[in-house]
Structure 1
């Protein structure tokens, strides 16, 4: 069974790098995006930092926004925080919490608000040692809403308060250790919610023989929750025959590159089980360190929804953001057995492949 999923209307066509005087370079082909991700001359814009307990202070300490010299050590702190986590444990705990939420839902549930934005964060916050995982969920969401440059003042003020709250929950450690632990939660917030929402939108009607893991991998390619990332040129370089000058901004479009017909046959077709060629999690030294864990959390939620729910309303719109793609609301009817019933347990094990 294959379904055609056209790109979002604002996805640029896949082609050679283009330059605009008001926005810099846009890179869309798979090979070109990967080349920039691996090019040391193209670097992540660095955050300036700020007082402890504020959004600026947190951004200034996390590996995501660190300069090339500080990045390896800070990334290692995040990797160390993730090392004890077991993907199977995350998957099963997310499935358990999703089943419990459906039992309480009263027959209908909004995927984004009730599940995609809550379950993965709560499970991950608990496993990362935060003292109050339930309270951490809205605090992380408030920080994520102002995480990227350009957030309005109201969101920044709310994020400052949320960072202060999260700082009281984080395990003891150096400021950089605590910041990079919290940064993992913030980075997971929208990305995991978007992946779950899109998987439900595109895959809820697929037959059970399609594994949830294959569905998620294909959704990451076709409708990625993170549509792109930014770099700035710090030394003259060339990409696909184009000369990039020092100071040029570069926008890498994963959503276009993932549909590059040179790499993917029938790129607009949803075909779970394809060889993995997505760039959504990045590549090189800045690639996402928690790919397997994020996929496991999403799989736990989506597997239960596939077994217990059907789609009743999907407006098809998304939360406003230039590079993130999170469905605003998707309503499902809950029709499967309760989580404590025997048949449901067997079904959940089956779709967690």
Structure 2
């Protein structure tokens, strides 16, 4: 996890307390080249903002737009269509459709669904990982036992995303992608109401009515829900144990998003020579953006290390910004609110799951 217990850009997300490390980077090297890993690291809020806005900084390396291990498989076919994994005008158009569709979902509906699913969770792992995916599957129109099966398959599909994915992970993801397309395809073809119907209509207006990319991005929405919301749910429950239950849960969860980000970092790959934070960065470079560090940069937020729900206009980088800002921010927050409103038991904490970018606590103890 760490080198002699010291956080590094690649291990900080799962470190017991990465925030002193982040603070030192923000103060001393808000943007620079890390000799140990060979990548550039953006930690300060201005530098992170600059990278996120630079069109030469792409979400995938030019030499490998799709992970080699899933090329030619159903997982690869899904991956290459995802708005979160592509750039350019087509990505912008497709993301616009997703944002419009998600805008039809009310926070109250999501909170109620999350509360109902949380009441049926069987253990802490199911609460963190299963509940969020089942909520989104229900919003899409899936019914019966389908949301639970979707949650299981999404857990297998996301195994292909990390750079550390093994051949076994790639095979599991390929099988899961094929099964998800078969399972969700009939709902897509039926259209109808709810979030899926809204997406079909929005996509048709924006000129991409083809079923394959639509279905791929439905799977993408479910997969984005998986790790990120699991981290947010877990970190929220730990914060409730530490700070007590507030009157305004929504404001409390919003501060968890900033203060203990479920997604601690993301990456960009430089397609053409560019200048960032005063440094010349050559094409082919990789950049790690420490979103959690930027959240706690004094340039972005006053007294940034204090946990203070209800901040006026906080600058939050957890869900990204610009072309690849996550369209599911309100959805994830509402799910965490619904879970936190339902689960009043206090879990114990057994460290964090190994992950290069997600901060997901391992919750233990008596499950309610």
Give the deviation of 1:283 after TM superposition: 0.6
Conserved 8 A contact 1:81-1:181: no
CA spacing shift, 1:220–1:134, aligned 2, 3 Å: same
Conserved 8 A contact 1:233-1:245: yes
Distance (Å, rounded) in 2 between the aligned partners of 1:194 and 1:77: 26
Give the deviation of 1:145 after TM superposition: 2.5
What is the aligned counterpart of 2:30 among 6, 12, 16?
16
Partner in structure 2 of residue 351 of structure 1: none
Distance (Å, rounded) in 1 between the aligned partners of 2:66 and 2:153: 22
RMSD: 2.3
Partner in structure 2 of residue 141 of structure 1: 155
Conserved 8 A contact 2:59-2:85: yes
Conserved 8 A contact 2:159-2:172: no
Partner in structure 2 of residue 259 of structure 1: 296
Cα shift readout 1:48-76 (whole Å, capped 9, x = no counterpart): 38667622111111111113243123323
Give the deviation of 1:212 after TM superposition: 1.4
Q: Which stretches of structure 1, 4 residues or longer, exceed 4 Å deviation after superposition?
A: 8-12, 49-53
Segment of structure 1 superposing worse, 322-331 or 285-294: 322-331
TM-score, with length taken from structure 1: 0.83
The correspondence of residues 1-353 of structure 1 with structure 2, limited to 5 A, is 7-8=18-19, 11=22, 13-14=25-26, 15-21=29-35, 22-45=37-60, 47-48=65-66, 54-101=74-121, 110-111=123-124, 113-130=125-142, 132-170=146-184, 171-172=188-189, 174-275=211-312, 276-305=314-343, 308-311=344-347, 313-315=348-350, 317-332=351-366, 334=368
Give the deviation of 1:82 after TM superposition: 2.7
Distance (Å, rounded) in 2 between the aligned partners of 1:184 and 1:280: 17
Q: Secondary structure at the match of 1:328?
A: strand
CA spacing shift, 1:126–1:51, aligned 2, 3 Å: farther
Q: Secondary structure at the match of 2:275?
A: strand
Give the deviation of 1:186 after TM superposition: 0.3
Distance (Å, rounded) in 1 between the aligned partners of 2:340 and 2:38: 37
Conserved 8 A contact 1:82-1:128: no
Q: Secondary structure at the match of 1:168?
A: helix
Give the deviation of 1:288 after TM superposition: 0.5
Residue ranges of structure 1 left out of the alignment (5+ in a row): 335-353
TM-score, with length taken from structure 2: 0.80
CA spacing shift, 1:130–1:272, aligned 2, 3 Å: same
Cα shift readout 1:147-199 (whole Å, capped 9, x = no counterpart): 23331111111111111111112222610010011100001100000001011
Segment of structure 1 superposing worse, 213-222 or 11-20: 11-20
Give the deviation of 1:236 after TM superposition: 2.6
Distance (Å, rounded) in 2 between the aligned partners of 1:281 and 1:73: 19
Distance (Å, rounded) in 2 between the aligned partners of 1:163 and 1:198: 29
Distance (Å, rounded) in 1 between the aligned partners of 2:153 and 2:363: 20
Distance (Å, rounded) in 1 between the aligned partners of 2:270 and 2:71: 28
Distance (Å, rounded) in 1 between the aligned partners of 2:97 and 2:183: 18
CA spacing shift, 1:266–1:251, aligned 2, 3 Å: same
Distance (Å, rounded) in 2 between the aligned partners of 1:187 and 1:265: 30
Q: Which one has a larger percent helix, Structure 1 or Structure 2?
A: 2
Conserved 8 A contact 1:7-1:222: no
Conserved 8 A contact 2:75-2:174: yes
Q: Secondary structure at the match of 1:70?
A: helix
Partner in structure 2 of residue 350 of structure 1: none
Conserved 8 A contact 1:130-1:136: no
Cα shift readout 1:252-277 (whole Å, capped 9, x = no counterpart): 10111111122223322222222321
Cα shift readout 1:103-153 (whole Å, capped 9, x = no counterpart): xx6xxxx43x13111111101012113461111011011112222333111
How many residues were matched structurally?
Answer: 318
Conserved 8 A contact 1:258-1:279: yes
Distance (Å, rounded) in 2 between the aligned partners of 1:73 and 1:52: 25
Distance (Å, rounded) in 1 between the aligned partners of 2:72 and 2:147: 22
